[in-house]
Structure 1
Amino acid sequence: MTMVRANGIELHVQRLDPAAGGPRHGPTAVLLHGMASDTMASWFFTMAEPLVRAGYPAVLQDLRGHGRSERPAAGYDLDHFVDDLAALLDGLAVTGPVLLFGNSFGGTIAFGYAARHPERVAGIVAVESAPPIPEWMRRVRVRLDRVADRLPRAGALAEIGARRGAVAARRAADTGRLLSDTSIAEELPASRLPTTGDLAAIDCPVLCLYGGESAVGELAPAVCQLLPQTRVVVLPGQRHSVLIDQPRAVRRHVFAWLAEHFGSDAAQPATPRQRDTQEVPDGHDDHRSVDHHQQRPVRLDAAVRPHP
């Protein structure tokens, strides 16, 4: 476990470098998880190893208040999360443009960072996410309010455990502690947002992936209007947890996009035998892909070298 002090708090960080003698394609991939029940594990077990195998150094972190990172009582608006990321990259001496990967609100942090530091971002991959625009932040408020109302109810955790298993119940319990111990439910929806002009000035390539059954995908037209270079991928039948539920399909689209924009074709995941893909031009892409194979979590081995 590596703890790094950044922006006045201790952040849990994992840094991975390509193996000596292996491919190295340059931009460091920075992977940001979602809010409340998520941690760096969602990226560690789905995307980190394939990226490093393909030659991309990787940095993962538990966001403030999450996982093993410090949990201050306050400081949970978007600016704090963006400041944390900026301070962390400086502290780790990560130079040059980075590839930002964000799951759910992690993608929003990525867009917020890119709006503030466009010259430091080579590309953005956002899964079930959107830039910090008013409608997305309204939905974040509704979701946080709903969870804050539901979790304290008698039997709520037992119900979650019965329906979704013990791991989901433990995550829900930690979410409840986060909401009760901090001001995140009040601060995050009230965040100061970047101007439309600052967001529109993001000129790097953008890939957005959505589950076909998730309401977050309704924001895709607004994302494309704001950032017309965006490629949108919709995975039919999938919900908000598409990164965890369909990691192979997500990887396939991510590596195709990386190959197009960064010339990397190494370590692409095997293409599933059964799939149905339909593509339309960038800016309005609806790459519909069905992956019928269950993917087990990846593990680190000798091909991936943890950074000291």
Structure 2
Amino acid sequence: MAEVRVGELTVNVQRMSAAGPSAAGPPPLVVLVHGLLIDSLASYYFSLGPAFAERGMDVLMYDLRGHGRTSRPATGYRLEDFVADLDGLLDALGEERPAHVVGNSFGGAIAYGLAATRPDRVRSVIAIESEPPVKSWARKMAEGLTGEEGGLVVKEVRAWLAEDPERNARPFQLAGRILDTTTLGEDIPRSRVLDDGLADIRCPVLALYGADSKLAAQAGHLASTLAHCRTVVLSDQGHSVLVERTRETAELLLEWLEDDIHAPVKGAR
């Protein structure tokens, strides 16, 4: 692991290099962006990261601000702050290849945000159980992060832990610490959102959902609204797609990326 200075942050970064040389030029770059509160780059380190590197891609993982081993400022948690962090990280690393940005849950909102504001940086978006940051997204985030007992997100995590008392409660404890010591809960619902027409997202999009998740209902709208979008809905699956359907998720994503694995990257800025 490495620490990279990005503005006020010290960002915890993990990279995995493509396995084997490529005769076609630099390998594709895949950036993996984790979810909110109970997540970190570790969820990718033990799932998708190695599979992508073995298939000839350079993999970049990092802890979001306030999460994992990245520094935790007291304020500055609007979506645009997270997007700027990723943009700045790519600058700090001297990375000029347009990236395939994979976002799980809240990480998908960051991926969509970067695609809208820096289209030159994003070759494609892969959103796992996520949604674009439009007005309805902001309302849902407000319901999830504020209110009695911390909102719906906290209640759902408590219910998830109650189903199996043997589960590790440490991630939930860390999530509570983030909410108690930062303005994340207040900031995210106040984020700058995209136009509901999603006109700023022009790159190819792969959106993956669990059929039993509330987010699956948006699959048809995305497919009909975005110019280059494929949606996949996994039957008998809730929100935890990455954790519970890891192998299937990896296969779907690798299929999506296959055309770029051995192709030269065209687009330096």
Q: Same fold by TM-score, threshold 0.5 exceeded? A: yes
Equivalent residue number for residue 262 of structure 1: 260
User: How do residues 110-121 of structure 1 correspond to structure 2 at under 5 angstroms?
Assistant: 110-121=111-122
Per-residue CA deviation, residues 118-170 of structure 1 (Å, 9 max, x unaligned), is 122111111000111111222222122366158999xx97x765533455411
Q: Is the 8 A contact 2:31 2:100 kept in 1?
A: yes
Fraction of identical pairs, as percent = 38
User: How do residues 10-159 of structure 1 correspond to structure 2 at under 5 angstroms?
Assistant: 10-21=10-21, 26-145=27-146, 148-149=150-151
Distance in structure 2 (CA, Å) of the matches to 1:122 and 1:112: 13
User: How do residues 208-227 of structure 1 correspond to structure 2 at under 5 angstroms?
Assistant: 208-227=207-226
In structure 2, stretches of 5+ residues that fail to align are: 264-269
Residue range with higher mean Cα deviation, 214-223 or 73-82: 214-223
Q: Is the 8 A contact 1:54 1:264 kept in 2?
A: no
The residue type equivalent to 1:134 in the other structure is K
Equivalent residue number for residue 232 of structure 1: 231
Q: Name the SS for the 1:256 alignment partner.
A: helix
Distance in structure 2 (CA, Å) of the matches to 1:61 and 1:28: 14
Distance in structure 2 (CA, Å) of the matches to 1:128 and 1:264: 28
Cα distance change on mapping 1:104 and 1:161 into 2, 3 Å: closer
Cα distance change on mapping 1:210 and 1:264 into 2, 3 Å: farther
Residue range with higher mean Cα deviation, 104-113 or 227-236: 227-236
Distance in structure 2 (CA, Å) of the matches to 1:56 and 1:10: 25
| Matched pairs, number | 260
Distance in structure 2 (CA, Å) of the matches to 1:28 and 1:73: 32
| Rg larger for | 1
The residue type equivalent to 2:199 in the other structure is A
User: How do residues 262-301 of structure 1 correspond to structure 2 at under 5 angstroms?
Assistant: 262=260
TM (normalized to structure 1)?
0.78
Cα distance change on mapping 1:152 and 1:244 into 2, 3 Å: closer
Per-residue CA deviation, residues 167-188 of structure 1 (Å, 9 max, x unaligned), is 5411111111111111111100
Distance in structure 2 (CA, Å) of the matches to 1:232 and 1:46: 21
Distance in structure 1 (CA, Å) of the matches to 2:129 and 2:72: 25
Work out whether 1:246 is the aligned partner of 2:245.
Answer: yes
Q: Is the 8 A contact 1:243 1:250 kept in 2?
A: yes
Work out whether 1:195 is the aligned partner of 2:191.
Answer: no
Residue range with higher mean Cα deviation, 15-24 or 143-152: 143-152
Q: Name the SS for the 1:29 alignment partner.
A: strand
Per-residue CA deviation, residues 9-62 of structure 1 (Å, 9 max, x unaligned), is 111110111234368763210000011111111111111011111111011000
Q: Name the SS for the 2:12 alignment partner.
A: strand
Residue range with higher mean Cα deviation, 243-252 or 14-23: 14-23
Equivalent residue number for residue 277 of structure 1: none
Q: Is the 8 A contact 1:107 1:127 kept in 2?
A: yes
